[in-house]
Amino acid sequence: MDVVRIAGVELPKNKRIVVALSYVKGIGQSLAKKVLLLAKIDEEKRVEKLTDEEIKRIRNEAESGRYHLEGELRQKQATDIRLLREIRCHRGVRHMLGLPVRGQQTRTNCRTRKGKSLPVGGLKQKLEKK
């Protein structure tokens, strides 16, 4: 088997299967271990060493419908955020303003949410030159 796809994501060949499964959005370390336990596959096995039958068991368990993965998960998160915005709760307003949602401080830090900092005194100098 050359390419292993689970939920539309190609898994890296040279990694252990428990680590490779975490490349799928919605599957972390604990869920990867749970899926492999239910599929009766050793966690230490490398992706390239898996047989077609083992891949089929992993795919059936992961895509069984019990878990939200990839596109379905992204869609669910987007609708949840849209609902927060519509009801205009505190978290929804923070999403709209592009500020941290979970109570972090904003006086300093949080540059990834707010964007590049703008200089404060620059406007005054431009007005005086004219």
40: left (phi over 0), alpha (psi -120 to 50) or beta: left
Alpha carbon of 53 to those of 4, 50, 64, 130: distances in Å?
A: 12, 8, 16, 76
CATH number for 97: 4.10.910.10
**Whose structure tokens read 């707010």?**
114
pTM: 0.73
* pLDDT for residue 126: 65
- Domain around 20: 5-62
Q: Is 31 helix (H, G, I), strand (E, B) or coil?
A: helix
- Residue 111 has which token pair? 């540059």
The count of domains in the chain is 2
State how far the Cα of 68 lies from the Cα of 71, in Å rounded to an integer: 8
> pLDDT tens, 34-52?
999 999 999 999 999 999 9
In a domain, 122, yes or no: no
In a domain, 127, yes or no: no
pLDDT in tens, the chain (130 residues): 578 888 889 999 999 999 999 999 999 999 999 999 999 999 999 999 999 999 999 999 988 888 899 889 999 999 999 999 999 999 999 999 999 999 999 888 888 888 888 887 766 666 676 6
In contact, 17 and 35? CB cutoff 8 Å: no
Q: 74 and 42, same structural domain?
A: no
State how far the Cα of 50 lies from the Cα of 123, in Å rounded to an integer: 63
